[in-house]
Structure 1
Amino acid sequence: MKRRSLIKAFTLTASIAAMGMTWTVQAAETIKVGILHSLSGTMAISETSLKDMALMTIDEINAKGGVNGKMLEPVVVDPASNWPLFAEKGRQLLTQDKVAVVFGCWTSVSRKSVLPVFEELNGLLFYPVQYEGEEMSPNVFYTGAAPNQQAIPAVEYLMSEEGGSAKRYFLLGTDYVYPRTTNKILRSFLHSKGVADKDIEEVYTPFGHSDYQTIVANIKKFSAGGKTAVISTVNGDSNVPFYKELANQGLKATDVPVVAFSVGEEELRGIDTKPLVGNLAAWNYFESVENPANKKFVADWKAYAKKHNLPGADKAVTNDPMEATYVGIHMWAQAAEKAKSTDVDKVREALAGQTFAAPSGYTLTMDKTNHHLHKPVMIGEIQADGQFNVVWQTEGPIRAQPWSPFIDGNDKKPDYAVKSN
């Protein structure tokens, strides 16, 4: 080979190598994080906004320099309200996309679908929604409420004079693990307060159920036996026809109040809320709470929705699982900074005791042993504009009880995270 050709060949090889190095360096410069939420199917009404909130939070962290000097790179997948697909997509995120952490799931059946995958591969999942408890995995951090941070206080409120002094309880839920386990806990709790089985009705409907005419008629009949409250664990888009049917049959909160555990500002966007005024929801955050952190959080979200032309951006709202998503991502970032690594074992250790000044107005703490947030409890009344007026709240954050004392044998369970399989 002539000298000139040799030099050209060497230069080309060096250039290609340099480009390859640049690509490798660029890839290494980012930290991939997974977003595992249903963007289609029955749960899209609730989960799409969590995906968007995760993206906004990632942008916020990147604008401040990222994590350990690296930008966060979101990897978004759509498990489409298909529970086995959650496990498949979770495995893809961990093994193919090599994400450092996953933020996702809404229903407990989706979380339980992915749990064996995360425990097998030592992945890290942040779960942002209230749930039934009875779980404490070293591979999951739970930023939503356990039953003692939502369900139990809500029923205590309904029993109180302030909450209407209910004597009978109609437990209505979607047919899966969260409503059934929560209602098992609530039935035991009600028994402890002297409520007899004849004063408790329990009804379940499938995901995507849309005909609530007979059920609402049965609620009216049941309420004839004494002061009644409905406790709703209906999930997803079924909430829209349920609330519409309440209005159709003229069942008002002054007659039979409904307290919901899975209905917030987002779910009410598609409903005329005027006939629903006075019905309740129990959460750990509402958009309407007034404090500087929440004012900024809400304003940032509305600006983000408008900038990215999100559906219904002109009426963009925040809700509890969105706040829990926001808090969880920030806590993970803080822990990764503290650990100076995104290694799962190091981040897990660094998460113990992490705190964050949340939009709820409280400083939330990640428990040092049980992987759950200490959270305040709030009960809000639906207003005509689809917002909630907080009518009751705890003085401060409450430590989660993942193992409910109202389920036999739980007093023997460990108060620290252990693998479930």
Structure 2
Amino acid sequence: MSDCWKVGILFSETGSTANVELSQLHGAMLAIAEINAAGGVLGRPIEAVRYDPGSEPRDYGRLAEKLIVEDRINTLFACYKSSARKEVLPVVERRNALFFYPTIYEGFEFSPNVFYGGAVPNQNSVPLARYLMANYGPRIYFVGSDYIYPHESNRVMRHVLRLSGGEVVEEEYVPLDSGPGAFDAIVARILEQRPDAIFSTVVGQDSAEFYRAYHRAGGRGGDIPVASLTTNEADVAEIGAEVMAGHLTAAPYFRTLETPRNAQYLESYARLHGDLTDVTSCGEAAYIQMHFFAQALRDCGCDDTDALRATLVGQSFEAPQGRVTIDPDNQHTYLHSRIARIDEEGEYVIEHEVPMAIKPDPYLVMPASADLIVQGRKISRG
């Protein structure tokens, strides 16, 4: 018997999505540090074997195979983009390994080998659509990166808006990693059309280019805000408060959440990683999922895939965002829903939240989703 429990980690430390994937790596490593400091699991520490896929989708699949076959590891924590997840999925299904995916995604997927830790559309797109219509207006302009997640996310958002009386002014996509200048024409069309808000599913370094292009052209968050499901604290730190002020993000967690549990999390994070620049919702999801794994490992006493899977469903954890639970119905996660605005200092100000963890509905059964939004509340700032 090995003297440690090994897990595989595939989060990019280089390439176009390194900004957010480093936050996922840091969240996972913080959880491992906490678990090991408390004596490990059944007296054995967790050890991470990690590789850098370099933000290249095919390399996630190749390295997942390496972790399972060569390193003999059957539990993986991996991926940000859906295109990367789609590369890992057939590998873990073929090898009967477990795959923890700590990222918001488009939904409409289930695999017995995957535990989904990020928000699905009924936990973020539906609340955001209703919030934008109530606070800004019904005319929304869509801009996205040209791959799976933005297309599917926009399809869902379009459906929600139309059911609620909203209008998609225009829907445009740019190739991944387009670089400077790719958004100038789109921004010009946005400012000419003057929608009530912009829904952005642009990811990676292109997201920074989009915000900068919008700001250069005179676009401001206080006038026509960009609303995103993926923009996070690390992005704001990179791009700058002047450019980002007034824009919106919908997520289960924000660094500025004022609770004792989050204060404890931030203190531990700073102690291990040095600062809080890259504390993000996806990083918190990786942190949560590592703790879920440790709890299930402790309960079943082995890292056999089938035994772990059976023990994982129904697990709960007191997370920085609040109490979260793995849904036995679909292996997705009950998560909280919040919408925040970036202030002049580059900090997120939480303006709206649903006062309970929302049951994940990856197939978006609309009546149930709509009922939850009624219970949302706007946060009073005095």
Task: Give the SS at the match of 2:329.
Answer: coil
**Alpha-carbon displacement from aligned partner over 1:181-218 (angstroms, at most 9, x marks no partner):** 1111111222222335xx43111111212222111111
Distance 1:398 1:153, change over 3 A: same
The answer to whether the aligner puts 1:178 opposite 2:149 as a matched pair is yes
CA RMSD of aligned residues (A): 1.4
Task: Give the SS at the match of 1:178.
Answer: helix
Of 246, 249, 255, the residue aligned with 2:223 is 255
The answer to whether the aligner puts 1:202 opposite 2:171 as a matched pair is yes
Q: What's the counterpart of residue 40 of structure 1?
A: 14
Q: What's the counterpart of residue 340 of structure 2?
A: 380
Distance 1:405 1:369, change over 3 A: closer
Task: Give the SS at the match of 2:356.
Answer: coil
The answer to whether the aligner puts 1:71 opposite 2:45 as a matched pair is yes
Between the aligned partners of 2:277 and 2:245, the Cα distance in structure 1 is: 20
**Alpha-carbon displacement from aligned partner over 1:358-400 (angstroms, at most 9, x marks no partner):** 101x211111121011111000001223220000000100001
Task: Give the SS at the match of 1:183.
Answer: helix
Between the aligned partners of 1:278 and 1:270, the Cα distance in structure 2 is: 16
Identity value in percent: 34
Between the aligned partners of 1:149 and 1:266, the Cα distance in structure 2 is: 22
**Alpha-carbon displacement from aligned partner over 1:36-95 (angstroms, at most 9, x marks no partner):** 111111111211221122222211111111122211111011111111111100111111
Unaligned runs of 5+ in 1: 1-24, 307-312, 407-421
What TM-score results when the alignment is normalised by the length of structure 2?
Answer: 0.92
Contact 1:83 1:113 in 2 (8 A): yes
Between the aligned partners of 1:303 and 1:136, the Cα distance in structure 2 is: 37
Q: What's the counterpart of residue 234 of structure 1?
A: 202
Contact 2:23 2:278 in 1 (8 A): no
What amino acid sits opposite 1:265 in the alignment?
Answer: E
What amino acid sits opposite 1:319 in the alignment?
Answer: T
Between the aligned partners of 1:29 and 1:167, the Cα distance in structure 2 is: 58
**Alpha-carbon displacement from aligned partner over 1:6-26 (angstroms, at most 9, x marks no partner):** xxxxxxxxxxxxxxxxxxx6x
Contact 1:31 1:100 in 2 (8 A): no
What amino acid sits opposite 2:219 in the alignment?
Answer: L
The correspondence of residues 314-333 of structure 1 with structure 2, limited to 5 A, is 316-333=277-294
**Alpha-carbon displacement from aligned partner over 1:314-348 (angstroms, at most 9, x marks no partner):** x6341101111111000110011111111111111
1:126 Cα deviation after fit? 0.7
The correspondence of residues 239-388 of structure 1 with structure 2, limited to 5 A, is 239-306=207-274, 313=275, 316-360=277-321, 362-388=322-348
Contact 1:131 1:145 in 2 (8 A): yes
1:111 Cα deviation after fit? 0.4
Task: Give the SS at the match of 1:62.
Answer: helix
**Alpha-carbon displacement from aligned partner over 1:286-335 (angstroms, at most 9, x marks no partner):** 000011110011111112112xxxxxx4x634110111111100011001
Contact 2:8 2:50 in 1 (8 A): yes
What amino acid sits opposite 2:173 in the alignment?
Answer: Y
Of 342, 354, 363, the residue aligned with 1:394 is 354
Contact 2:129 2:160 in 1 (8 A): no
Contact 1:287 1:317 in 2 (8 A): no
Between the aligned partners of 1:278 and 1:195, the Cα distance in structure 2 is: 22
The correspondence of residues 18-37 of structure 1 with structure 2, limited to 5 A, is 28-37=2-11
Of 105, 111, 115, the residue aligned with 2:85 is 111
Please identify which structure carries the higher strand content.
2
The answer to whether the aligner puts 1:404 opposite 2:364 as a matched pair is yes
Task: Give the SS at the match of 2:336.
Answer: coil
The answer to whether the aligner puts 1:213 opposite 2:187 as a matched pair is no
Contact 1:50 1:322 in 2 (8 A): yes
Q: What's the counterpart of residue 369 of structure 2?
A: none
Between the aligned partners of 2:87 and 2:74, the Cα distance in structure 1 is: 19
What amino acid sits opposite 1:202 in the alignment?
Answer: E
How many residues align? The count is 364
Between the aligned partners of 1:351 and 1:320, the Cα distance in structure 2 is: 21
What amino acid sits opposite 1:171 in the alignment?
Answer: F
Task: Give the SS at the match of 2:14.
Answer: coil
Unaligned runs of 5+ in 2: 367-382
Between the aligned partners of 1:396 and 1:52, the Cα distance in structure 2 is: 27
What amino acid sits opposite 2:334 in the alignment?
Answer: H
1:167 Cα deviation after fit? 2.1
Task: Give the SS at the match of 2:239.
Answer: coil
What TM-score results when the alignment is normalised by the length of structure 1?
Answer: 0.84
Of 112, 117, 138, the residue aligned with 1:167 is 138
What amino acid sits opposite 1:111 in the alignment?
Answer: R
Of 10, 16, 24, the residue aligned with 1:50 is 24
The answer to whether the aligner puts 1:222 opposite 2:193 as a matched pair is yes
**Alpha-carbon displacement from aligned partner over 1:134-169 (angstroms, at most 9, x marks no partner):** 101111101100000011110110011xx22x2211
